Structure 1
Amino acid sequence: MEDKKLKEITGNLVIYTLNCGTFICEKCANDPEGFFKRAFSNTVKGAVIDDQIKQFKASFESQRKELDQLLNADNFSRIRTLLDDMLTAKLDRIPYVRNASFSQDYICLQDTRTRILEEIREWVEAEPPSDSKGASLFLLTGFAGSGKSAIAHTIAYRFSAGLDTTRGRLGSSFFFKALSDTEHEKRSAAALFSNISRELASQPENREWKKALGSIIDARFALINSPAPSARFDNLIRDPSQYLTVNFIDPVLIVIDSLDECKSAPVERKALLTILSSHLHEFPSNFRIFVTSRPEDELTNLKFPEGSHVERRDLETWQKDSIDQDLQRYYESRLGDLDESVTSSLDTRWPSRSWVAELIQRSEGLFQWAFTMCRELVAPGQVPVKFLNDVIQSKSGLGAMDKLYEEVLRDKFGSDPVQTKGVCSVLGFILCVRTPLPVSSLIALGETPDTAGSTQSVVRHLGSVLAGVSTDSELTSPIHAYHTSFLDFLFREGRSNLYHIDRLVQDKAIVEACLRVLTSEKLRFNICDIKSSHLSLDSSQVEAVANWLQRCGLGHLIYASQFWSVHLAQTAFDADLAALLHTFIRRKFLFWLELLAGIGQVHGAGNALKSMVSWAQHVRRYPRLRAFACPIRKRRGKIRQQLRGYHRSKPSAHLPLCTPFRSHHKPDIETILASIRRHDTSS
């Protein structure tokens, strides 16, 4: 009834508006009598015209009152909320990487980096030169450990919270650095632009941007999901800015940290750098783009078009005179809780607190060095005077960070080649998994009866360089390096010497561990405890299944099911490994697919099969493995396609025969099953 009345009122308003417009045209615009004659006529006939005007006003007022009665404030609010929710749901179709934004946990220590942060704030708030075109860009470079990311987190946090700022706000922040390889893959060059656009649209001040995006999504859905950075930029940044009827008010800060950590393909990285340089003028002029990176040639040699407003700074030379003061405040804050006996012994060895000056000198301007040193000095069982003296007396030709890492490892594990080999084996396993694992999962995945206890015996000493090992919850906290400089040190033989870790050796060890787990009794029928194979799982149920498996102590099995093929692809042929893989295919293949479906990862099985096929096609000594891989290789396109479409499928031990696999796909799956049955019969 209300809808019918609303249509009637709307129709009346349209009619009255047309009549009113016609009246105005007749009495004014099209009157051929001229201005003075028309004015005299209106004076004489004024009463008639006034009556007509009053009639129009009364009609409009009557319809307005009826409309007010029909659409009260609550209804307007509900309609607006509904429309906004519909638009938000539409924007959810734009790819978005979660947890890639700034974190208050990583901001600079209070009263440090003040001059640098103040100069960046002034740059954000200042008006660019009158002849500049498009956005303004600030490129901050510095070596690993110099504190670039802390500055990026701090400047993003301050503009997000409105601290010490007079104008401008945070539009978006994107940090390329991630804790795991899988997260690195998500934080791609293309993902940067979709994240910026989504975060801008989520802010109440940017309703115009949100509306512009909504109109673009319907027409260009394929383009906004393209992995090409240029397609995402054009459709999610450049074009929405052109549709705006009202420009952004005040500067909008965009923070991009660790651009050198972008792991996209070279062609995509090049496209990203081209957009940030040659296409800077296509960004909205209110944008202030703050970028941090190591001083790599492809970044420092960027060329910008004439008229671009670009600032470049390098932390090695910028505000150099204030770095020692900042480091002194940092050391005094972090080491202020040392026992009095410890500070007394340090003062005895280096009078008048000259040990602080020694720390500052050895830091060489690297805040990551200071962070690592402070954690080591307060580590349980450490003798600070001896350790600091060893660091000062070190004569190696390594850089500051490498010297410190070498001294930390030497202090804990010595220099005996046999012992260091065992330490590197454990440490390499921890750091080469594709996503960080807690100690409990590392033990279950990697330890054998011969190596029992080795994981904890190593990690418990490394709280200064590894996160997650110095807490009460170390069995459940993922273990990862605090800083990429530690990984750089370990993975480059010329720098780490005795403590060098060979990634390829570790990949082989990890894939062997994964296949041992996958061929064990741990992987069994209906491991996800699904009540019926006829039920599909929604996202919340998939998350619940994964959490339940974690609570059951099967986190290592989840890891093995997802990443065995990633490590396999990096490994050369090995007879023992081929035997493990053969056993896995014969006995556990369907259970593996069932597990992947239960945790919502079955779409990744296609890439796993591709890796297995590529690895097995040269295996001559295992004809059964080649025979199994052969039908997959021939039909892998179709098989990968159906597995990718199986994201919300029915977890069942007979998964390939479930209804989500359409009938025209069944021959491919049947061929695989026939291969498995043939192997079972012949073995």
Structure 2
Amino acid sequence: MTWIMDGSDTRYVCWLNSVAGAGKSTVARSVAHWAADRGILGGSFFCSKNDSQQKDARLVIPTIAFHISELDIAFRQELVSVVRHWDGIDLETPSQQLERLVIKPLLSIGRRSDPLLLIVDALDECTNEIARRELVSGFLSIPHDLHTLRVLITSRPEVPERETFQSVLSSQWKDIILHRMDRRVVDADIRAYLNAKLISMVLSSPISGDSTTKMETWPPEHLLDQLVQKSAGLFIFATTVCRYIESPGDRAEQLLQIASVSESHNEGEYGLDHLYRRTVSSAIENLPDSKVNDLRTVLGTIILLQHPMTLRSICLVLKMTRRRVEGMLSRFHSVVVVPSDDRDFVCLFHSSFRDFLTSNTRCSNKCEMEWCMNSRECAHAKLFVSRLHVRPAQNHRSICFRLIDLMRDAFSNSHAGTGEKDVTILMPYSDDGILRYACLYWSDHLSFVSTHDTAEVRIVVDLINAFLSEKGDIWLSYMGKDTDTFKIGVQSLDTIYEWGAKLPGPFKLHDWTTIARTNFTAMALLENLS
């Protein structure tokens, strides 16, 4: 905290970076609470791929500016003056937003004696790399007159952030690499967390017959030591272990399974691979291939969505009953958050599980029976984790197909050429966000579909051409119903056009795409001029 309070330190920006699961967001939230208690938290933005707004880097600065305005009345007056005379704030680059919405108002109200801390957490979760670079560049260009301003940015050490920071003299910014901190300090924190969490789950939710009641001490010291060692300095390992132990079953037995695995097992990238393999192999044990395929479909949909869906929406897209989907996801309690209310979002506990499932090398044919020699032909082939490996291109294609089918069903009572107000939406889609998701994001899923396999390309092109010729006008009518969807409609047409431009040989998207793109772009220009 010294860096925040020391006004003489000219390094206004601190980059806290580390691998996934090291606890960056935990640190960011702790610092935010600490600063808020002292009245020096100017604003914060916690990025997330799971939310369309939280993954938009163009919303970071407007959000932070709003937070500062709630803290400082003089700043609020300056900000109101800026906003009143500036249209299209959300269309400007993050560095331009920072200059006009934060820096100039702060300079106008004069120097502060107290620090003012801004926090941007998990910047790498924002999907627009150019905007991320712009944002970092803007923060690194803060004028020296704002000597009490401090900016904490956390992210994985991804290329956009790393290159942007390294392009500036190191004297202008401070970096902390979380996974290189003193392991003794980190291990002590993880041990305290595990001990408190394991005790809490037994006291708050006792289970009759659970073998934890037969132990002299809970949790056993030697098993706690082994868990800390296996965490390898990663808080996400510790939190996921606790969720695994808390899932249905004998808690003591589940703790023993995780803690007592032979050290010869490779824990894998980020220290999580063994835990994820154990979770997956337990979930698919004794399941026939058809059930595993269903599981892969459900998980593949959840991890590749551009925005989280409710349980109800997932069931509609997959055409599965709620009971069936809930039954499958109950096997993944430790890694997937499934709300009791089917109107709440289903999401991953941590993005590292997405990384694991989509990796050829990590989600691989490694038998989880520790005495097994890992042969492909071993008797435990049904436990092979690779049976649940998600192939992004194939799953994106499947999601795209399902969304197109859903839109055709939803618009089945409408006809091409109807006006925006005349679009009829078939139940059960009219009262659920699933239709909005389908209309906004089907083209994004299409962009991930491979154009190299001729047989598959033919199927995809035929389906898209049929949809666009039959329901394309109705889809655009839906997209034009408000300003936000209209802007995304323009982007969607660009995405479809760019994917079509990569098609091989004789394959071609319907001429409707080019015409609609031209018309929609022209409408967008007129909208900006008006």
TM-score with structure 1 setting the length: 0.63
Residue 188 of structure 2: which of 306, 316, 325 is its match? 325
Corresponding residue for 1:650?
Answer: none
Determine the C-alpha separation between the residues in 2 that align with 1:306 and 1:367.
Answer: 29
Select the structure with the greater relative contact order (CA < 8 A; seq sep ≥ 6).
Answer: 2
Deviation for aligned residue 1:254: 1.1
The runs of 5 or more residues in structure 1 that have no matched partner are 1-119, 536-544, 648-661, 663-683
Tell me if 1:520 matches 2:409: yes
Could you tell me which residue of structure 1 aligns to residue 77 of structure 2? 211
Q: Structure 1 residue 347: deviation in Å?
A: 3.8
Q: Which amino acid aligns with 2:300?
A: G
Q: 1:645–1:348: structure 2 CA closer, same or farther, 3 Å change rule?
A: farther
The aligned counterpart of 1:251 is 115
- Mapped partners of 1:516, 1:382: distance in 2: 43
1:176 CA drift (Å): 2.4
The Cα shift of 1:286 comes to 1.5
Q: 2:78 is aligned with what amino acid?
A: A
Q: Which residue of 2 aligns with 1:291?
A: 153
After the TM superposition, which parts of structure 1 deviate over 6 Å for at least 4 consecutive aligned residues?
348-351, 548-551, 619-623, 644-647
- Quote the Cα distance in structure 2 between the aligned partners of 1:379 and 1:159: 35
2:349 counterpart (462, 465, 482): 482
Amino acid at match of 2:112: F
Which residue of structure 1 aligns with residue 310 of structure 2? 438
Which runs of 5 or more residues in structure 2 are unaligned? Answer: 365-385
Tell me which residue corresponds to 1:371.
239
Contact 2:49/2:307, CA 8 A, preserved across alignment: no
Indicate whether 1:583 and 2:466 are aligned.
yes
Q: 1:495-529: per-residue Cα shift (whole Å, max 9, x none)?
A: 11213311111110011101111222664339xxx
Cα deviation per residue 1:30-51 (whole Å; 9 max; x = unaligned)? xxxxxxxxxxxxxxxxxxxxxx
Find the aligned partners of 1:413 and 1:349 in 2 and give their Cα distance: 32
Alignment partner of 1:124 is 2:13: no
Residue 502 of structure 1 pairs with residue 391 of structure 2: yes
Q: Distance in 2 between matches of 1:261 and 1:508?
A: 23
- 253, 265, 272: which is aligned to 2:135? 272
Report 1:97-246 matches (<5 A).
Answer: 120=1, 122-125=2-5, 127-129=6-8, 132-133=9-10, 136-160=12-36, 162=37, 165=38, 168-180=39-51, 182-183=52-53, 185-186=55-56, 188=57, 190-203=58-71, 205-207=72-74, 209-217=75-83, 221=87, 224-244=89-109, 246=110
Matches within 5 A, 1:552-567: 554-567=432-445
Higher helix share: 1
Q: Is the 8 A contact 1:565 1:612 kept in 2?
A: yes
Structure 1 residue 369: Cα displacement = 1.1
Distance across 2 between alignment mates of 1:269 and 1:631: 33
The worse-fitting range, judged by mean Cα deviation, of 399-408 and 579-588 is 579-588
Alignment CA distance shift 1:216-1:392 (3 Å): same
Pair 1:403-2:267 in alignment = no
**Cα gap change, 1:453/1:157 in structure 2, threshold over 3 Å: closer, same or farther?**
same
Q: Distance in 1 between matches of 2:464 and 2:158?
A: 41
Give the letter for the 1:460 counterpart: S
CA pair 329-506 structure 1, distance change in 2 beyond 3 A:
same
- What is the number of equivalent residue pairs in this alignment? 488
CA deviation profile, 1:64-115 (whole Å, cap 9, x unmatched): xxxxxxxxxxxxxxxxxxxxxxxxxxxxxxxxxxxxxxxxxxxxxxxxxxxx
> Is 1:176–1:259's contact at 8 Å kept on the other side of the alignment?
yes
Residues 284-683 of structure 1 mapped to structure 2, 5 A cutoff: 284-296=146-158, 298-299=161-162, 302=166, 305=169, 308=172, 310-318=173-181, 320-336=183-199, 337-338=201-202, 339=206, 341-342=209-210, 344=212, 347=215, 352-381=220-249, 384-386=252-254, 388-389=256-257, 392-393=260-261, 395-397=264-266, 398-399=268-269, 400-414=271-285, 418=289, 420-447=292-319, 455-467=325-337, 469=338, 471-473=339-341, 475-497=342-364, 498=386, 499-520=388-409, 523-525=412-414, 533=421, 554-571=432-449, 572=451, 574-597=457-480, 601-616=485-500, 618=503, 626-632=510-516, 636-642=517-523
Is the 1:437–1:479 Cα contact (8 Å) retained in structure 2? yes
Task: Write the distance in 1 (CA, Å) between the matches of 2:93 and 2:391.
Answer: 33
Q: CA separation in 2, counterparts of 1:322 and 1:343?
A: 32
CA distance in 2, matches of 1:420, 1:346: 36
Max radius of gyration: which structure? 1
Note if contact 1:255-1:291 (Cα within 8 Å) is conserved in structure 2.
yes
After TM superposition, give the deviation of residue 197 of structure 1 in Å.
2.5
Q: Name the amino acid aligned to 1:333.
A: A
Identity of aligned residues (%): 21
